[in-house]
Amino acid sequence: MPTSQPFTVLCLASYEKGQPFLRQAKAQGCRVFLLTSLSLKDTAQWPRESIDEIFYMPDAAAEGSAHTWNRQHTLNAVAHLLLEHRIDRIVALDEFDLELAAWLRAHLNIDGMDETTTRRFRDKLAMRRRADRAGLPVPEFIGVLNRGGIGLSGAHARALGFEAALYGRRDRHPET
């Protein structure tokens, strides 16, 4: 691989986050590309002095979130970018972009954390199980993987003297 080009980082940000990372990557000598939501184009305060190029993805509102991108369209856009530019790393600047970044890396054969490893950081049940196995203190929990477990989790919570809170494995908010 030719070393004449700087190390290039493609940063994904469906929300306005990660400004310190963008600044530090540039300070370290990286070429920095930012792929972000079109809905942020006129409002986000990106450190433009630290970004070589900004690319925008249209929000796929039909998918339920103003900051969700169509995966296939995102893959097509990044693949098109790769026609002209080498990309050494794809970095998610927000927690909610981790899985997309891993998926893109897998499809484009770019080094970095794979989808299975990424899920360990996004899946609340997997995180608790790993922490518990490692001997770290975790609150009481029951992994509910089917409908029968819902009743079991309620009974478990009542036995411990509190209400049950059901968390989606990757959702943002609990349901009580």
For the cut 70, the answer to whether the pLDDT of residue 14 exceeds it is yes
Q: What whole-number percentage of the chain has pLDDT above 70?
A: 75
pLDDT at 92: 97
What pLDDT, on the 0 to 100 scale, is given for residue 154? 62
**What's the pLDDT score for residue 175?**
41
CA dihedral (19, 23, 29, 31) in degrees, to 10, reads 40
Predicted model pTM: 0.77
Show Cβ contacts of residue 68 under 8 Å, excluding neighbours closer than 6 positions.
Answer: 14, 59, 60, 61
Query: Taking residues 115-129, what's their average pLDDT?
Result: 83
Q: Give pLDDT, residue 23.
A: 98
Query: What are the angstrom distances between the C-alpha of 8 and each of 28, 49, 83, 141?
Result: 11, 16, 14, 42
pLDDT at residue 16 greater than cutoff 70: yes
Q: What is the pLDDT of residues 67-112, one digit of tens each?
A: 789 999 999 999 999 999 999 999 999 988 999 999 999 999 999 9
State the Cα–Cα distance between residues 172 and 145, nearest whole angstrom: 18
What is residue 157's predicted lDDT score, i.e. its pLDDT? Answer: 64
Task: Tell whether the model's pLDDT for residue 12 goes beyond 90.
Answer: yes
Q: Given this model, what pLDDT does residue 26 score?
A: 98
